[in-house]
Structure 1
Amino acid sequence: MPSNDNTPRADRQELAYLPVPFPKAPPKEPRFAALRTWWQEAWEEDGVLRAMWEDVLSAPEDGFRYMAPWLRAVLMVAGVSFIVLMAKAAGEVVLEGLHQLLTAVPKVQVGGDTSSGVFAVVDQPVRTYIAQHSAGLPVAASTVYTLWLLTGITGLVLGYLSRNNGVRAMWAGWGAASVFMVWTATPATSRPIAVGLAVLAWTVLSAFAMRGLTLRRRVGRPARPARVSVKPEIHVHVPAPAPAPVVEQHPHSGCPFRD
C-alpha cells in the first residue's frame, strides 16, 4: 500500500520539471473608472465643467458683450445656423411658388383680345408686342408677359412703401417700356390716343410709386442751440492772513525787541 509520507528522504527523487504556478494578475479597474474620476474632478471647485456652468448661470447678468467667449461663440454659431436653415426653407418655398406660377403661365393668352375697357387700350398692345418679339426666346411669351406684370406691381408697391430710389428707377423704366410697346403695337390711326392714355395711367400710378419724391434740394434744419444752464455764483478771493511778528526777550535787558 503506498504511503502518504511527504518527508524528503535520501532514496526519494524530486521531480524538477513540475510547472511553477504563474503569479496572479492584478485586479482590473472597474469599467469607466477613469471617466468617473474625471467627472468628479471636473465638477470640483476649480474644475472645467464647474467653471462652464458658472459662465452659463452668469450669462443673463453679463449680457452678450461680457459673457464668456466660448458661450458667445456657441450662441453665434447657433444663430447663424438657424438663419441659414430658415433662409433655405424660405427659399425653397419661394422657388416652389415661382415654379408653380411660371408653369401655369402658358395658359394665359398673349396677343388675343383677353381684356376689355380702358385697360385694353394699354394691355392689348403690350400683349401683341410681346407675342411678336418673343418668338425666338427660350421662354414662352406668356411667361414674359407675367414677368412684365410682376415688375410693374413690385415697383408700384415697393415704391409706395419704401421710397427707395432704386425701386423708383425700376418703376420709371417699366413705365417707359410700356409706353414704347403701346406706341409700337398700336395702329397709326389710334396711336396718339393710346399713348396718351398709357402716359396718363402711368402718371396717376406714379403719384403712389413716387410718393415723397421732390426736385427741391433738401436743406437741413439749423441745429438747435445747446442748452446751457447758467448758475449765478459769486466767488470772493480771501487773502490768507499775514503771519504775526515774533517777539523775543533780550537776555540782558528786560526790554523786548523785534526780530
Structure 2
Amino acid sequence: MQSHDHTPGQNHQELAYLPVPFPKAPPKKPRFAALRAWWDTAWEENGVLYTMWEDVLSVPEAGFRHMAPWLRAVLMVAGVSFVVLMAKAAGEVVLEALHQLLTAVPKVQVGVDTSSGVFAVVDQPVRTYIAQHAAGLPVEGSTVYTLWLLTGIVALVLGYLSRNNGVRAMWTAHGAATVFMVWTATPDTSRPVAVALAVLAWTFLSAFAMRGLTLRRPAARPVEITVQPEIHVPVQPPAAPADQHNGCPFRD
C-alpha cells in the first residue's frame, strides 16, 4: 500500500519518539505575602493597628482616666518599671555610701576616753558598754556605736518633723537603752549622777522629738444642728369648669 507521507526519507513510526513537554510549575508566591496582606488589612478603617493609632491620638483629649485600657496598662507598667529601676539605683547609691561610712567608722576608738565635758558622762559609758558586749558580733564595736548615734539622730529629727508615733517609739527605746548602758557601765560611786544627767538630757531632747504629743483626749466637737423652718402649702385642686348652660337642666 502506498504511503500518503510526501516527506522524503521520513518514517511515519518515528513520531512516537518525539519528546513530550512537561507541565509548567505554578508561579511562586512572593515572600511575606501573608504578612503584607495582614498589614494592609490592619491599617484599613476599623483595623487593629488603625484603631490603636486612633487611641494614641485621642490621649490628649481623653486624658489618663478615659484613655484606652490597653494604653493605660502600658503606661502603668512602664511607670512601675521606671520607679523600680530608680529605686534600685538609689538603693545601690545609699548602700554604697553607708558601706563607706561604716568601713571608715572602726577608726573611732571605743571604750576609751575619747570625749570630754558633760557629754562624756553619757558617751563614755555607752562606748565602754558597746566595747564589752560587741566582742562576739560579726561587726566592729565602732560600727555598733555609729549605728547607735545615727538611730538617735534620725529619731530626733523625724520625730520633730513628722510627729509619727512609730518614730516616737523608736526615740523612747533609744533613750531607755542609753540610760541602761549608762547605768551598767558607770562605776557605783558615780552611777546615780550619771544616770540622772542621762535622763535629763533625754528629757530635754524629747521636747523636740515628741513635739505635739499630749495625753489628753481630744474634746468632742459639739454637733451643729441647723434648724430651717419650712412651710409646706398643699397644692389646691383645680376648680371645676363652669357649666356652659348656667345650670339649665336641658342640654343640646
TM-score interval (norm. to shorter): 0.7 to 0.9
Does 1:104 pair with 2:104? yes
| Residues 247/90 of structure 1: CA separation in 2 closer, same or farther (3 Å cut) | same
Q: Is the 8 A contact 1:155 1:168 kept in 2?
A: yes
Output the CA distance in 1 between the equivalents of 2:168 and 2:31: 73
The TM-score with structure 2 as length reference comes to 0.85
Q: How does 1:89-238 map to 2 (within 5 A)?
A: 89-225=89-225, 237=236
Could you say what secondary structure the match of 2:188 adopts? coil
Q: 1:218 to 1:247 in 2, by over 3 A?
A: closer
Q: Where does residue 258 of structure 1 map in the other structure?
A: 250
Structure 2: which amino acid aligns with 1:120? A
Distance 2:61 2:13 in 1: 88
Q: Which deviations, in whole Å up to 9, do the C-alpha atoms of 1:24-58 show, x marking residues without a partner?
A: 33333334343333222211112111111111112
Verify the 8 A CA contact 1:122 1:182 in the aligned structure 2: yes
Q: Distance in 2 between matches of 1:35 and 1:227?
A: 75
1:73 aligns with 2:78: no
Residues 39 and 227 of structure 1, relative CA distance in 2, 3 Å threshold? farther
Match of 2:183, SS state, is helix
Query: Which stretch shows the higher mean deviation, 141-150 or 209-218?
Result: 141-150
The 8 Å contact of residues 247 and 257 in structure 1, kept in 2 or not, is answered as: no
Matched with 1:252 is none
Greater displacement, 29-38 / 157-166 = 29-38
How far residue 63 of structure 1 moved from its aligned partner, in angstroms, is 2.7
- Unaligned runs of 5+ residues in structure 2 are 1-5
Do the aligned partners of 1:64 and 1:72 also contact (CA within 8 Å) in 2?
A: yes
Contact conserved, 1:245 with 1:258, CA < 8 A, in 2?
no
Partners in 2 of 1:155 and 1:85 — Cα distance? 29
TM-score by length of 1: 0.83
> Deviations 1:122-157 (Å, cap 9, x if unpaired)?
100100011111112222111111111111111111
Contact 1:247 1:258 in 2 (8 A): no
Change (3 A) 1:86 1:174: same
What's the CA shift for 1:9? 7.2
- Aligned CA distance change for structure 1 residues 219 and 8 (closer, same or farther; 3 Å): farther
Q: CA 1:247/1:9 → structure 2, altered by over 3 Å: closer, same or farther?
A: farther
Q: CA deviation at 1:176?
A: 0.8
RMSD across aligned C-alpha pairs, in angstroms? 2.9
Aligned residue in 2 for 1:241: 240
Q: Secondary structure at the match of 1:189?
A: helix
Identity %: 76
